[in-house]
Amino acid sequence: MPELITTSAGLRILVDELPHTYSVSIGCFVSTGARHEPDAHGGAAHFIEHMCFKGTRRFPTARQISEAIEGVGGILNASTSYESTVYWAKVATIHFDRAVEVLAEMLTCPTFDLRELEKERRVIIEEIRGLQDSPSDWVHELLQQAMWGAQPLGRDIAGSVETVTAISRSDLTGFFQRHYNLSTTVISVAGKITVAQVVESVGRAFAGLRPGHMAIPPHLPVPRRGPQVSLMSRDTEQGNFCLGVPGLSYRDPDRRALQVLDSILGGGMSSRLFQVLREENGLAYSVGSYHSELSDAGMWVIYGSVEPETLRDALAICRDMLGDLLRHGVTPNELAMIKEQVKGGILLSLEDTWSVASRNGSHLLRYGHVVPVERVVAEVEAVTAAQVLGVARRLLRPEAMHLAVIGPYEDEDRRELEALVAASL
């Protein structure tokens, strides 16, 4: 288990000593994301993530920031989600202090230089347009919009061209000052390092982090009632689809059963979806499923890309497979194999220092503590066939079904798809 230290200022630091490794990873986890933005400032959290790479007090240019880490063979990256933003670096242990210094500069004193801001605004707009030009990616955003509507979960994390165009420098600095503080931040370190080294280095570098309050998502998300279809007509070579239902939060007691169910349905080459849609029928190259979890909501999604004329056949097979799950559940052999698959994936992921630091930091943000790996494995092992069937019946309801499609389809196709989604499982 990692050691948790809270500094006298109130900064939470997690340290997982892994003396057998040659690297150390540092993650800065901030509990703010797209759900905390007002509608008019959609994309602000993501915009700030970009701006933290564009210049700080001691590293005034983006090049100086990147060279400080990449110049010693390290990795520097970040990501924004609906409820958190993460900045991280992975370096050889001898460069630990440098990595901490760079990350601390990014989180405590970005300059928000106006010229860089205007350049980055154009970059983000192109990022949004690039996503929209990739139907197999954009169909997932289309499903979000269909399921959640005019709520933060119903919009792209990067915002829209309109909101990103309208965001001002004062909007960004105001959001940054409100949400980047001691209460919202966790520093997670894993690798060939000692607790004493981490506490001394991180405590010194992050001394400028301000006091503040924990960010709480402002609204409980309420999914739109289904069944319904969101269709975007595009002259594409494939029909891209996402069939989804509202899922579970990461606090829900059924989440392990859903994890097992998701793996059985679409978690890899041995899953039901892959075997039937690809191996038996040759309908899709890319097909699978996933579940995303937030503090008070979630999604469970089946996705695939098929030849346009086979879309209805593929969706009919997906619905038949969901219906079979509802009637018959899973077999003992499937359950045993998937438990081993899930457990093995969890354990294998812990061989990388960033994976360990990431798991620890995200757990502390979510639960207020790090859940022991042994407990997670035991929870997966304890899942029964009855629990898997129960969570399937809980989620797979007609009024919960949403379908998003992008491809060369017209209004008459929409009516057929609506009838298919509305048909009883």
Catalytic residue set: 49
- Structure token pair of residue 420: 């298919």
Q: Are 135 and 237 in contact (CB under 8 A)?
A: no
Q: What is the crossing angle of helices 311-328 and 255-266, to 10°?
A: 140
User: 345-374: buried (b, 16+ CB within 10 Å) or exposed (e) per residue?
Assistant: eeeeeeebbbebbbbbbbbbbbeeebeebe
Residue 405 carries which side chain, given as an amino acid letter?
Answer: V
For residue 309, with 0-12 CB atoms within 10 Å meaning exposed, 13-18 middle and 19 or more buried, which class applies?
Answer: exposed
CA distance 397 to 418: 15
**Contacting residues for 120 by C-beta, under 8 A, at least 6 apart:** 47, 50, 51, 54
Q: Are the beta carbons of 377 and 343 closer than 8 angstroms?
A: yes
Contacts of 148 (CB under 8 A, 6+ apart): 154, 221, 223, 224
Tokens of 94: 């001898």
Find the radius of gyration of the CA atoms of the chain.
Answer: 23
Phi, psi (5° rounding) for residue 373?
-60, -40
* Long-range CB pairs of 366-374, under 8 A, 24+ apart, other chains included: 366/250, 366/251, 366/295, 367/251, 369/4, 370/1, 370/2, 370/4, 370/14, 372/1, 373/346, 373/347
How many C-beta atoms lie closer than 10 Å to residue 98's C-beta?
Answer: 17
